[in-house]
Structure 1
Amino acid sequence: MDPIPLILAIIGVVLLVLILWAIVTYNGFVKLRNKVEEAWRQIDVELHRRHDLIPNLVETVKGYAAHEKGVFDDVTRARAEAVKSGSSPAQQAEQENVLSSALARLFAVAEAYPELRANQNFQQLQAELTNTEDRIAAGRRYYNANVREMNTKRETFPPSIIASMFNFGRAEYFETEDPAVRASPYVNFSADRDRFDAE
């Protein structure tokens, strides 16, 4: 019996398996890249909504605290930088962190004006902005999960071979430096314990 046809058949099967694996792996990378891009577009929509709310918020606060020009200028400048398109997720995150810091100063100014805090327009804008911030945070979590999945697959062997052959690069995370987001929650049970002991 001639072993050459058997060897050729085995080589053919191995090549077929390798080709199928390469196709499946490549398609998996394409799917992950598209999920990352889709998740980024969702964040981008919410960021635009946030940017659109800010001028109305600034104008409302100006009506009560016109002498706080420096704060208004900081918010306006930070918004202008954040609105610029073409930024990578890391650059966009940095710009959004600057904007969040400027908005925090704007809300600190608003705290000094009880009439402003009671203003219906201000309350509505503040609620819309808070709602938008929550959606951005949810979008950031979804986006970063997809980025992690893409980068992990890209760096593991053997899929890394396909990633390097077809130039599937690392995706960037969208991270926040907002202390309110990064801070650990503070829990204090002493008041409850004192109340429990008193009972």
Structure 2
Amino acid sequence: MNRVAISRFGRNAARVALVVAIPATLAGCGINTIPTQDEATKTAWAEVQNQYQRRADLIPNLVATVKGYAAQEKDVLTAVTQARASATQVKVDASTITDPAQFQKFAAAQDQLSGVLGRLMVIQEQYPDLKSNQNFLALQSQLEGTENRITIARRDYNETAQKYNTTLRTFPSLLWAKTLYSDQKPAQLFQATAAAQSAPTVDFSSPPTATPPKVQ
């Protein structure tokens, strides 16, 4: 092999090495981190939506069952129905997580529904026949499980979104955020509101504790 051929071979080998090295170097600098975490945040958000929708689907049957035994509790039943309607009317999608106004509107509507559901849960203590109804007990179990999954989904979403937000602000991914991914916005986070922390406690299986008689 003459010197010209060797020289050409060397230049070609260098080009190949450069082509291979550039993607590896960029990957090592975190160029893929932002889109990867963006997708993870959207996936976590979808799970939040799924669990809230599951709760909304349970409420009509729950209200109908309670109404059959406690029709006089009209105010609470109406409040639950209206809160559910308000919550389901808030339109959300993947873009909601970077829209502060729409995200807060969704979170506020769901927190309001949690609050009135808490009031509905108290009613069953006054109606023994309702507490022993098999349909009611089944709904209780499903709602309790859904509330637990909502809590977990919100926590997981917040953790994923916080990690994504940190990536957007820190080096070296900050460089990519300002150049290749300049359209990426921070994700909104759920706040620990009083309504979210206190509502609803779903436990229909344990009878209320009897008040001991006073000693005269």
Q: TM-score, normalised by structure 1?
A: 0.76
Query: Which of 112, 118, 139 is the equivalent residue of 2:132?
Result: 118
Which residue in the other structure is 2:184 paired with?
168
Amino acid at match of 2:170: T
Contact 2:58–2:139 at 8 Å: present in 1 too? yes
Residues 168 and 177 in structure 2, CA contact (< 8 A), matched pair in contact too: yes
Q: Which runs of 4+ in 1 moved over 3 A?
A: 16-24, 87-90
- Cα distance change of structure 1 residues 18 and 157 upon mapping to structure 2, 3 Å threshold: farther
Match of 2:69 among 51, 57, 64: 64
The TM-score, its normalising length taken from structure 2, stands at: 0.70
Q: Deviations over 1:63-99 (max 9, x none)?
A: 1111211111111111111112226443322111100
Report the Cα offset of residue 158 of structure 1: 3.3
Aligned to 1:42: 47
Q: Compute the displacement of 1:161 (Å).
A: 2.6
Among 83, 87, 90, which residue is 1:82 paired with? 87
Is the Cα–Cα contact under 8 Å of residues 124 and 131 in structure 2 kept in the other structure?
Answer: yes
How big is the shift at 1:27?
A: 1.6
Instruction: Look up the match of 2:205.
Output: none
**1:150 offset after TM fit, Å?**
0.3
Cα contact 2:33–2:173 (8 A) shared by 1: no
SS at match of 2:191: coil
Size of the aligned set, in residue pairs, is 168
Cα deviation digits, residues 2-30 of structure 1 (max 9, x gap):
xxxxxxxxxxx9xx869943895332100
Deviation digits for residues 33-84 of structure 1 (CA, Å, limit 9, x no counterpart)? 0000011111111111100000100000001111211111111111111112
Could you say what the CA RMSD is over the residues aligned between the two structures, in angstroms?
A: 2.4
CA distance in 2: counterparts of 1:108 and 1:152, whole angstroms: 41
1:176/1:123 CA distance change after superposition, 3 Å: farther
Match of residue 32 from structure 1: 37
Does the 8 Å CA contact 1:47/1:136 hold for their aligned counterparts? yes
Tell me the percent identity. 37
Amino acid at match of 1:141: R
- Distance in structure 2 (CA, Å) of the matches to 1:147 and 1:52: 27
Q: 1:172 is aligned with what amino acid?
A: Q
Alignment-derived partner of residue 197 in structure 2: 179
Give 5+ residue unaligned stretches, structure 2: 1-17, 97-101, 200-216
Unaligned runs of 5+ in 1: 1-12, 182-199
Q: Which position in structure 2 is the counterpart of 1:144?
A: 158
Structure number having the greater helix percentage: 1
